Structure 1
């Protein structure tokens, strides 16, 4: 699965539309095997979204979405503001913490996001 890559769709209006329903402004979003971005993506953004793609592969689409929303709600219950709750989701902690590392996707262990559930 490490060699699997998502399809990248750039310069799309879909993230703009989804931002109306989200607690943050969406620049790019991974939906299963497709990464949709409102802009042309940097290599860092592609790595970030590819990390999410690997998480999707580990949990399947429904499992990822359920856990993602569940972690966000849990963070809200803990008293975090919506934007802060987003940045404390374990999937985002892994992606933001490693999207600058060009070797991370080659070195990443399966279910690496579970390490970030301790935060």
Structure 2
């Protein structure tokens, strides 16, 4: 049932621009359940990346995703990593970046894959 839910993609949004002021990286797109907001046109790679995050959010009832994401980020920063380094080591981001080139990945990914790392 959860696999059938799809994100709502919003192109040319100001939300990634605004949130970039708070983030350690420039945000091109962001999944905020049930939407994916992008600065411009959404590439296939970005679509796959953000769909993976959408599925991660579903698995943890959305708020759980943000709690785990924040916990991983704080833990990485406390270990001495800078903002951008910490971001790329987050479990959610690792799964999304590793698999974003595989268009079919969201349809065949295993539940909780990102938390098994």
- Report TM bin, short chain: over 0.9
Query: Is 1:108 matched up with 2:105?
Result: no
- Aligned CA-pair RMSD: 0.9
2-structure distance, mates of 1:114, 1:68: 11
2-structure distance, mates of 1:34, 1:106: 18
Q: Which runs of 4+ in 1 moved over 3 A?
A: none
2-structure distance, mates of 1:115, 1:67: 13
- Structure 2: tracts of 5 or more residues without a match: none
Where does residue 33 of structure 1 map in the other structure? 34
Equivalent positions of 1:1-119 (< 5 A) are 1-116=2-117
- Structure 1: tracts of 5 or more residues without a match: none
Aligned residues: 116
2-structure distance, mates of 1:45, 1:31: 14
Q: TM-score, normalised by structure 2?
A: 0.95
2-structure distance, mates of 1:86, 1:21: 13
Cα deviations by residue, 1:36-80 (Å, 9 ceiling, x for unpaired)? 000101011000000000000001121111111110010111111
Q: TM-score, normalised by structure 1?
A: 0.93
1-structure distance, mates of 2:47, 2:39: 13
